[in-house]
Structure 1
Amino acid sequence: MRRELFEADHQAFRESVRAFLDREVVPHLAEWDAAGVASRDLFTVAGKAGFLGMAVPESYGGGGVDDFRFNAVIGEEAIRAGATAAGLGITLHNDVALPYFLRYCTEEQRRRWLPGIASGELITAIAMTEPGIGSDLASISTSAIRDGDHYLVNGAKTFITNGINADLVITAVKTDPKQRHKGISLLVIERDMPGFERGRNLDKLGLHAQDTAELSFTDVRVPVGNLLGEEGQGFRQLVANLPQERVSIALAAVASASVALEQTLEYVKGRKAFGQPIGSFQNTRFVLAEIATEVEIAQTYLDRCIRALNADELTAEDAAKAKWWCTELQGRVVDRCLQLHGGYGYMTEYPIARAFADARITRIYGGTTEIMKEVVGRSLGL
């Protein structure tokens, strides 16, 4: 079934993104995987090419086009190029962090940060998760106590995407430690602020080129001018922005499943057993028929979610449905495709093996499958 989500401008943009990835990203993938982090140059060259901050107004150096379909193109093409891990840094920057700066910055903050975000000179991250505290955000203990014109920040965060490269870290803190949800605020903590330390670049099962770090804060003096929005509104701000993040994750999941299907189709047509291509066996046809059907159905729902997001009509529960269903689908698809590769599927030289390792996290970050089902269940009045 023909996708109707994209228009001519998006298709032209796709060709540009594909050429950029082939030229600037693919040649460095092995190097970045080994290093456990993509070069900061990835962001500056992406910014120069116009692939960062598309929604940033032109007056601040951005593209001036608030259309998530351009974000979708970047996410899909990064996965198609085999650059899932490196591409995640860009999608985190564009899809997850940027909306906070666009929605909650003061004019002074916009002038200070948006040009660098659009150019790639200022890399962004968002820090919510703490050691021992994941889904229960209201229980975070990182504190930000007002001290004149500054906040004094103490605490720690973990599993922070872009944590090594980031210059601006949107940090969930407790400005009123006596409160739960109502005590949370968002502070932008900047690189090289005294007392802000980066710990390990975490050694993960997959997504090796994506830096995922531990962060710690010891008496970090953060100017009050780095507060995003109002004190005590952090939880509402996070909830308001989570649907876009979850659609971004669902998009990557469906793209990954689609690429795995394509790669496996090619493999089973060429690989022979018992004197014939393994693609000619009924079991292979049935498995791939099921996968093709499920991926297309998921893509159709996801495309509707993207249209709703662009129209500012996407609900939290619809985004949660997309997130849990598409990431669970990704896991099933990649696992079944690896099985059809046989022993070769377990070899990391084959893309399906790397896709298998990369896929496991999507059912966890951005809200676990269990939390997504809770969001949907509560929307049913249960």
Structure 2
Amino acid sequence: MTSEIDQFRAMVRSVVDTEITPHIERWEAEGTFPAHELFPKLAAHGLLGLSFAQEDGGEGAPLEYQMVLSEELGRGNAAGIAMAVNVQMHMATPSLAQFGSAELKQRYLGPAIRGEHVAAIAVTEPDAGSDVAGLSTRAVRDGDDWLITGAKTFITNATQADWFCMLVRTGDEGGYKGMSQIIVPAGLPGFEIVRKLDKLGNRSSDTAELRLDNVRVPVSNTIGEIGRGFQQQMGQFIIERLSACFSIVGGTEWALAKTRDYLRVREVFGAPLATRQYPVFKLAELTADVELLKAMNEKMCRMLNAGEDITREATVGKLHAGRTYRNVADAAMQFHGGLGYMEDSWTARFYRDARLSSIGGGADEVMLQVLARMDGYRV
């Protein structure tokens, strides 16, 4: 299997080098990328269907293949593209694959796997981010339809999405109860992309605010059981956090290698920085942090392949991954000095992109709260 994984990694790296790397500077400057052009190219190599069952049009591959794909997408300072692909594969579609009806999977999952549709996940609202219980977008039953009213924000892929996996309230229980996941196609009457958001980093990935005013969607577009959306979304969050851990390994390994190369050629006070104890020890420490993350990722792969619950491991991994990403970005910029602070240096984008890792997909503070509660604390 190691040989097959190595061959797969080489193929993915070739695809990234051909289809993403030559265009990333332009996509970053434009603040978006052509998802409907890129995704079919990735799908042609089976990359968008790795995690899905063969009967749904996927590859049915072991989780290690998803890990390699995410690592390679994370490598090369194209974090915005890695995030957009991860949304397609690991954030907007896992619930649909697990709980969706055969009809829903045929209409929405199949085209997403083939790269014909761009998918997005719509959970966060202006007043409800990490606190999903505060979600207020509501769907009211009208015969065989839902009428959905509310707002969503920070939605990745939103300006190009063909459909959204949207978490909304369908009951009056309040709190974590009475929510459902519903597939909401883009372009319906009353559905508006309010504005594209101007972000600090990950600029090649489009992000937007949504507004819904009595948007009519068939009840049959509900994923799984009505009222079980929160529980389904929590499971989908686990896959999202897992994919973040995978991608961050690729990005940090790439950045550490480039920084080590720079230390060997940059002379300060008559000697290369690579002869100075502090920068060398710092990079050694950060490399060890990445190795620990890789070990956790491999553990999570083994556990998921065996059908085990990885809630704790994914929470620990997400917390460690975000902090490691930020620490690597900070050290890379520091050791590049004034050059690293310039926008035409790779370190500037890497630094900006890294900051999201401890906010998106569950802030560090939320990860700590989850772990504290698992350890019996009431916080």
Is TM (by shorter chain) over 0.5? Answer: yes
* 2:48 aligned counterpart, secondary structure: coil
Aligned to 1:64: 60
Alignment partner, residue 7 of structure 2: 12
Q: Could you tell me how far apart the structure 1 residues matched to 2:322 and 2:309 are? A: 18
Q: How does 1:177-326 map to 2 (within 5 A)?
A: 177-326=172-321
Equivalent residues of 1:26, 1:81 under 8 A apart: yes
Is 2:16 the counterpart of 1:24? Answer: no
Residues 318-355 of structure 1: CA distance to partner in whole angstroms, max 9, x if unpaired? 21111111211211121012111111111122222211
SS at match of 1:86: helix
Letter in structure 2 aligned against 1:44: P
| Residue of structure 1 aligned with 2:49, choices 27, 50, 53 | 53
Please name the residue that 1:158 is paired with: 153
**Could you tell me how far apart the structure 2 residues matched to 1:178 and 1:313 are?**
31
Q: Distance in 2 between matches of 1:56 and 1:282?
A: 47
Where 1:357 maps in the other structure, the secondary structure is helix
Counterpart Cα distance in 1 of 2:98 and 2:204: 30
- Distance in 1 separating the partners of 2:355 and 2:257: 20
Partner Cα separation in structure 2 for residue 149 and residue 241 of structure 1: 27
Return 126-135 or 48-57, whichever deviates more.
48-57
State the number of aligned residues: 376
Partner Cα separation in structure 1 for residue 342 and residue 11 of structure 2: 32
Partners of 1:181 and 1:159 in 2: CA distance: 21
Contact 1:143–1:177 (CA under 8 A) maintained in structure 2: no
TM-score normalised by L of structure 1: 0.95
Q: Give the whole-Å Cα distance in 1 for the aligned partners of 2:11 and 2:334.
A: 34
Conservation of the 8 A alpha-carbon contact between 1:150 and 1:221 = yes
Is the Cα contact below 8 Å between 1:80 and 1:255 reproduced in 2?
A: yes
Residue 306 of structure 1 and its aligned partner are, at CA, apart by 2.4
Rounded to whole Å, the distance in 2 between the matches of 1:99 and 1:232 is 18
Q: How has the CA–CA distance of structure 1 residues 301 and 178 changed in structure 2, closer, same or farther, with 3 Å as cutoff?
A: closer
> What is the rounded CA distance, in whole Å, between the counterparts of 1:62 and 1:292 in structure 2?
34
Deviates more, 1:273-282 or 1:310-319: 310-319
Q: Which moved more, 1:307-316 or 1:239-248?
A: 307-316
Residues 172 and 211 of structure 1: CA distance in aligned 2, closer, same or farther (over 3 Å): same
Give the superposition deviation at 1:61. 2.9
Q: Given residue 52 of structure 1, which amino acid in structure 2 is its aligned partner? A: L
Root-mean-square deviation (CA, aligned residues, Å) is 1.5
8 Å CA contact 2:52–2:58 kept in 1: the answer is yes
CA distances 1:19-68 after superposition (whole Å, capped 9, x unpaired): 11111111211221122111020111111221112233334432233x22
Query: Unpaired segments of 5 or more residues in structure 2?
Result: none
Partners of 2:64 and 2:56 lie apart in 1 by 21
Amino acid in the other structure paired with 1:73 = V
Letter of the 1:62 partner, please give it: G
Shift of 1:301: 2.0
Q: After TM superposition, what 4+ stretches of structure 1 lie above 4 angstroms from structure 2? A: none
Query: Where do 1:307-346 residues align within 5 Å?
Result: 307-346=302-341
Moved more, 50-59 or 322-331: 50-59
Change (3 A) 1:376 1:318: same
* From 355, 366, 382, the counterpart of 2:361: 366
Q: Give yes or no for the alignment of 1:91 onto 2:86.
A: yes
Q: Structure 1 residues 290 and 57 mapped into 2: Cα distance closer, same or farther (>3 Å)?
A: closer
Distance 1:282 1:112 in 2: 58
Deviation of 1:219 after TM superposition, in Å, equals: 1.0
Percent identity between the two aligned chains = 37
1:124 & 1:305 partners in 2: Cα distance? 25
Counterpart of 1:3 in structure 2 is none
Is the contact between residue 100 and residue 224 of structure 2 (CA under 8 Å) also seen in structure 1?
yes
| Alpha-carbon contact 1:305-1:314 (below 8 Å) kept | no
Give the counterpart letter for 1:46 in structure 2. Answer: L
> Amino acid of the residue matched to residue 233 of structure 1?
R
Bigger mean CA deviation after superposition, 31-40 or 353-362? 31-40
Mapped to 1, the partners of 2:81 and 2:236 lie a distance apart of: 23
User: What's the CA shift for 1:302?
Assistant: 2.4
8 Å CA contact retained: 1:56, 1:114 = no
Deviation at 1:183, TM superposition (A): 1.3
Structure-2 separation of matches of 1:58 and 1:310: 16
Partner Cα separation in structure 1 for residue 239 and residue 196 of structure 2: 26
Q: Which moved more, 1:309-318 or 1:186-195?
A: 309-318
Partner of 1:80: 75
1:49 counterpart SS class: coil
After superposing the two structures, state which structure 1 stretch, 241-250 or 53-62, moved more: 53-62
| Equivalent position of 1:167 in the other structure | 162
Q: What CA distance in whole angstroms lies between the structure 2 residues aligned with 1:368 and 1:306?
A: 23
Q: Which whole-Å CA distance do the structure 2 matches of 1:115 and 1:90 have between them?
A: 16
1:44 aligned partner: 40
Q: Is the 8 A contact 2:181 2:223 kept in 1?
A: yes
SS in 1 for 2:66: helix
| Aligned-partner Cα distance in 2 for 1:126–1:152 | 19
Q: 1:140 aligns with which of 132, 135, 138?
A: 135
Structure 1 range deviating more: 223-232 or 86-95: 86-95
> CA separation of 1:79/1:240 partners in 2, compared to 1, >3 Å: closer, same or farther?
closer
What is the CA-CA distance between 1:310 and the residue it aligns to? 2.5
